[in-house]
Structure 1
Amino acid sequence: MLSVKRKSAQHREVEPDERVTVSLKTLVDLARFAAGFPASGSRIRAFQGGSYLSRFKGRGMEFDETRLYQPGDDLRTIDWKVTARTGKPHTKIFREERERPVFVSIDNRPAMYFATRGAFKSVQAAKLAALLAWTAEQHGDRIGGQIFSDRDCRELKPQNGKRAVLHFLHALTDRSVRGQPGEYPFEQALARLVKHAHPGSRVYLISDFRGLNEAAETYLARIAEHCDVVLFFVFDALEQSLPATGRYRFTDGERDVVMDSADAQRLAEYRQRFAERLLRLQMLARREKFQLVLCGTADDPAQLLKHLMRGP
């Protein structure tokens, strides 16, 4: 059970519990763990979700110059305006962008503030995001992101350098981006992600995927048309299955829910809801060629990413 530690009675101050609320210092210190990771564009091996390997879109491409058409050139790259003006077929030449945009979308809705072991799902999500951001910075990629709650959504334009990462980490630890239930649908955040994730980007979505529906899947499919997409499914073991017997009280500090796991039918329905959500994610990953990564609240995000990013 998660709790907070207190200082001496003289100060009466509550010490931050890193299992419940991650600090900026912790996210900054994760830079040393990301130092040995391969580039963010490297393949992340699918983990516990099957072999759902992404369609590699490559880095973004920038227009460089136009030259005369040569046999073997892709007809789709013909510059029709120059061809019409000169009377001779010309081809557009592109060069690879020096810096690839890496866009990390983090679910910060109230359901992410939960765990029965390890750390809150929100803490795991923030650590994963920080590790991905530091990896991008160390390999010269631009880092940007999206943080969405049930109340609002905040985007950070991809930029390069440590200052951009620190700006991103400050946003991750900003407690004002936590809203109230039901005011900002999951698919609305993904609709905004479609507009902000530029072609050629690598997009990481870190969430417990509550509220995943057909509209959300459609937006994700649109993003995947021009970007690499990796899904991180963060969950707590108790969400997967309640213990065999007992009565359990859940609270978010304002509302209480009591679950009796001795009720066989209710227990089966509880397990089925999680299984259906996971199956839907697996089917989406298979259909759209996403990479799907599972991260439990008791997992070590740094070790998880180190294992996933290492070469085959």
Structure 2
Amino acid sequence: MRSNPPTAKAAKTPHARAEGVLPELTELIALREQARRLDLAPRGRVLATRTGGHVARFRGRGMEFDESRVYQPGDDPRNMDWRVTARAGRPHVKLFREERERPVWLLVDQGPSMRFGTRIAFKSVVAAQAAALLGWAAVDRGDRVGGLVFDETRHLERRPASRAAGLLPLLDRLASPAPAFRADAESSGPAGGYASLADAAGHLVRLVRPGSLVAVISDFADILRTQTRWMTELAAACEVILLPVHDSIESRAPPSGRYPVTDGRRRGLLDLTRSGSREAYEDLFRSRMESLERLARRNRAHLLRLSADVPVGPALALGLGGRGRLPAAGGFA
């Protein structure tokens, strides 16, 4: 098994792609058709600032009828509710809730632990496909889409924009090979990458406006070691979907043996011959998922697990309810 493809080679031959290692931009764009199966309707009250397709929390003239009430001096006579007026014998007016467009943010982890796969595709590819599907679903709803795509050496940040203007640069970045690792590369800076999901999410917190939908796509490999304050801050004013991506060999240990592993720069040996080593291996993954589930429940976030050996489109459609609803906060799909 191999994590992190040989990035130096990929950087020298950017057009050479192994299937399942790096997605083509055309493939990510073509996912727009599948994205029509996804339901990104808000699951709670929405705060936003522009006219669009989501019901806002305040009242005013708009697309969605809310209720009728007794006419008061100064009310717009164009909003008279004649049926209720006739029935009640007193003038009533209609109140509406305005519809607003919702900013959608995609936080996509492409770091070293994501560049790993044993069967169909690397976790980074699954993350790219999930981001494309969610992004296109949002675009088709009329939402503004932006995001932050990062690895250990670079990041791309785009503020939410209408139509596909915010999404396409993110997809292009997801389809481009990671540069060769440099020991002197910036680990967390304006032009550099982020060493961890927590670092990238901490930056995102400062960008996201209340009422946004934030989808965090990662393997959450360091969830047991890093702070999670970013989650609390995001969930306080936004709807959050956590999408952990895993490879089947992470949840189920391979048979007892010694397995060579590489991250493209260094080589090591995974020793599963010692007593209890396979159980400890599986316990670590289980602890990570349990910690993530507790985090989601505590912050009323949605949790949808994705596997690298299961097609992403159907998995997301099932998890999002196929034009239905998300599972209960913190629930697994």
Q: TM-score range with shorter-chain normalisation?
A: 0.7 to 0.9
8 Å CA contact 1:200–1:226 kept in 2: the answer is yes
| 2:7 maps to 1:19 | no
- Give 1:174's aligned residue: 176
Pick closer, same or farther for the CA change 1:130–1:189 going to 2, 3 Å.
same
Residue 151 of structure 1: CA displacement?
3.0
Determine the structure 2 residue equivalent to 1:207.
218
Asked if the contact 1:149–1:178 (Cα under 8 Å) also holds between the matched residues in 2, the reply is no
In the TM superposition, 1:265-280 aligns within 5 A as 265-280=276-291
Alpha-carbon separation, structure 2, partners of 1:114 and 1:248? 15
Alignment partner, residue 41 of structure 2:
41
Deviation at 1:260, TM superposition (A): 2.5
Alpha-carbon distance change, 14 to 97 in structure 1, aligned in 2, over 3 angstroms = closer
Comparing 102-111 and 266-275, the one that deviates more: 266-275
More helix per residue: 1
Partner of 1:161: 163
Pick closer, same or farther for the CA change 1:216–1:229 going to 2, 3 Å: farther
Q: Cα deviations across residues 44-95 of structure 1 (Å, max 9, x unaligned)? A: xxxxxxxxxxxx2424156999xxxxx9xxxxxxxxxxxxxxxxxxxxx997
**8 Å contact kept, 1:250–1:257:** yes
Task: Specify the alignment match of 2:253 in structure 1.
Answer: 242
Distance 1:148 1:243 in 2: 30
Q: How does 1:37-186 map to 2 (within 5 A)?
A: 37-38=38-39, 40-43=40-43, 56-61=44-49, 96=98, 98-176=100-178, 183=187, 184-186=195-197
Unaligned runs of 5+ residues in structure 2 are 6-12, 51-57, 61-68, 70-94, 188-194, 326-333
Distance in 1 separating the partners of 2:227 and 2:117: 25
After TM superposition, give the deviation of residue 22 of structure 1 in Å.
Answer: 0.6
In structure 2, how many angstroms separate the alpha carbons of the residues matched to 1:138 and 1:177?
Answer: 33
Post-superposition shift, 1:13? 11
CA–CA distance in 1 between the matches of 2:157 and 2:104? Answer: 13
Partners of 1:128 and 1:233 in 2: how far apart?
A: 11
Compared CA separation, residues 186 and 178, structure 1 to 2 (3 A): farther
Q: Counterpart amino acid of 1:160? A: S
Separation in 2, partners of 1:226, 1:177 = 35
Unaligned 5+ residue runs, structure 1? 5-11, 44-55, 66-70, 72-92
**Cα pair distance change 1:294/1:94, threshold 3 Å:** same
Q: Is the 8 A contact 2:296 2:303 kept in 1?
A: yes
Greater share of strand residues, 1 or 2? Answer: 2
Structure 2 distance, partners of 1:199, 1:235, is 30
Aligned partner of residue 19 in structure 1, secondary structure: coil
Instruction: Name whichever of 133-142 and 171-180 sits farther off.
Output: 171-180
Moved more, 258-267 or 137-146: 258-267
- Contact preservation (8 Å) 1:249, 1:256: yes
* Residue 42 (structure 1) shift: 4.4
Q: TM-score w.r.t. structure 1 length?
A: 0.76
Candidates 243, 254, 264, aligned match of 1:232: 243
Structure 1 residue identity aligned to 2:41:
G
